[in-house]
Each structure stands twice: as C-alpha cells, then as structure tokens.
Structure 1
Amino acid sequence: MRVVILFGSEMGTAEGVADGVAAELSGAHDVSVYDMTDFDVDDLDAHDFHVIVCSTYGDGELPTGAEPFFDALDARAPDLTGLRFAVFGLGDSVYGDTFNRGGEIAAERLTDRGATQVGEHGRHDASTGVRPGEMARDWARALPILVFASAR
C-alpha cells in the first residue's frame, strides 16, 4: 500500500513533521511526501492511504500552503468515497477556540467529499514542551495498528 503524505504549512513546521512521519512509516510502506501546493486534487487515489499534516494560521484558518489544494477540492468536488486518511494538526492552545483548527478544517473538507478519517486526530500544541516531530512520530507508530492492519 502506498502512503501519500500531504502537508500544508505557513512557516515550514508541517513540512518537517511530514518528513518525520514519512521516516516512521517508510520501513513497511511506499511513502511519498508532497507539499499541498504541488499536489493535484485529481491525483487523490482511494487505493492509497493519505496522511494530512496541517498547521493552523491566523484566526484558525488553513495555512496559505493548503488553501489552493482545498480550493481545488471544493471547485472540482470529486467523490472521495473509499479514500481513507489520518490527520496530524499543528496549533497553539493559547489561541483558545481556534486551537488546531487547520487540521480540523482539512478533515471536514475531505469527509464532506466522502473520505473517511481513521485513527486518532493528532493535535500538537506549541505551548507544550513536546517537539512536534517527536509527537508526530509517536502518533505515526500507532497508525499501522489502526489503519494498515486492515488494508486492502
């Protein structure tokens, strides 16, 4: 099974996290990492498993790097039934209600098109002492148990 990791970032943290998740999963799976700005919505494939790594920007919005991807998703409105994905979000709890909203928006937009979110929604909090890459690698280690054990 191929794992496609898509990241949306404002300052580059999500890219580093995506690379860490890729390193964690690459031993057992064919893994590719793409910036959402470089990935065409038409290339979403239900035979692949998708990992979304997304930061939160401004007042709880998608980062600039993820906007074109999700704008295209809305414009083309593909049927994503059968597509499975997991989300690791980045945020800061000092922002209250908008904490980690970027990852939540990404998940909502994909499920609105028929995709299925699996596993625990990872939520890194920049206000903690935990490094995002470390938390993401721990989160990714749980994915094979939750997702790939029942892979097609």
Structure 2
Amino acid sequence: MRIAILFGSEMGTSEAVAESLTDELSSHDVSMQDMFDFDPADLDPAHFHIIVCSTYGDGELPTGAEPFFARLESTRPDLTGLRFAVFGLGDTVYGDSFNRGGELAAAHLTARGATQVGDHARHDASTLIRANDMAREWVATLPLPGLGTRMTA
C-alpha cells in the first residue's frame, strides 16, 4: 500500500512534520507532496493518505492548502473508499480556532465520501512537545501494515 503524505503549510512547520513522517515511514512506499501542487483528481483510494495541515489566521486553512480544497469543492469527486488520517497544527492561544485547519481538511474530505481513521492529532505549539516528536509517536498508532492496529473511524 502506498502512503501519500500531503501537507498544507503557511510558515513551513507542516512541511517539516511531513518530512519527519516520510522518514518515519521509509520502510513503506511513501510519497510527500505540498497540497498547493497536488490535484484532487490524483487522490487514489488504493493509497492511504496522511494530511498534515496547519491553521492560519482566524481558524482558516493555510494558504498552501487553499487551492487544493478549492479544486476539491469545485470538482466534487467521489472519494468513497479513500482512507486518510490528519495531523493538525495549531496553538491554544487562539482559543476556538485552535487546530481548525486540520478539522476543515477532514470535513472537506469526509464530505466527499472519504473515511478518516486513527486519532485526529492536534499539536499545540504552546506546549514543550515538538511537533515532529508528536508526529512520530502518532503515526505508529495508525492502522498501517507493520505499524499498529488501533483504529478509530
């Protein structure tokens, strides 16, 4: 099974997390792409998708993810059978908009028929926990061959 890691970033933190996940999953067939350059038509239900998404402004998607989700909404593909997991980034200093980017990403995909699996990770930049460290621990819990069996659908 191919693992496709897609990241949406504003300042580069999501890209750094995606790189850590790519390294952590190096024993698998894994690819990493910026959502800005990724066409929703290339979402393949035969692959497992990991979405790494930051939050920008007042709880919006980051600039790097906006074109992807705009194309997803305009083309409205049927994503039935597509499985994905989300690693969101945010800061609790921003209250209600904390980690909203990852939540919006998940909502867009599930609205098209995709299924979110595993725990929705929500990194908090206000903690001492590094996003890359949290991501490496989180990915081990995903239902991927050789990684783990815990699954929350």
**C-alpha distance in structure 2 between counterparts of 1:90 and 1:76, whole Å:** 27
Runs of 4+ with >3 A deviation:
none
Matched AA of 1:54: C
Query: Could you tell me which residue of structure 2 aligns to residue 81 of structure 1?
Result: 80
In structure 1, list runs of 5 or more residues that go unmatched: none
For residues 7-45 of structure 1, the C-alpha deviation after alignment (integer angstroms, 9 at most, x for no partner) is 000000000000101111121x10000000111111000
Query: Contact conserved, 1:118 with 1:147, CA < 8 A, in 2?
Result: no
Superposition map of 1:116-131 within 5 A: 116-131=115-130
Query: Could you tell me which residue of structure 2 aligns to residue 38 of structure 1?
Result: 37
**C-alpha distance in structure 1 between counterparts of 2:20 and 2:70, whole Å:** 27
**C-alpha distance in structure 2 between counterparts of 1:19 and 1:38, whole Å:** 16
Compute the TM-score of the two structures, normalised by the length of structure 1.
Answer: 0.94
For residues 58-90 of structure 1, the C-alpha deviation after alignment (integer angstroms, 9 at most, x for no partner) is 000000000000000000000000000000000
Compute the TM-score of the two structures, normalised by the length of structure 2.
Answer: 0.94
Superposition map of 1:50-129 within 5 A: 50-129=49-128
Identity across the alignment (%): 68
Matched AA of 1:4: A
Matched AA of 1:5: I
- RMSD over equivalenced CA pairs, Å: 1.1
* Equivalent residues, number: 147
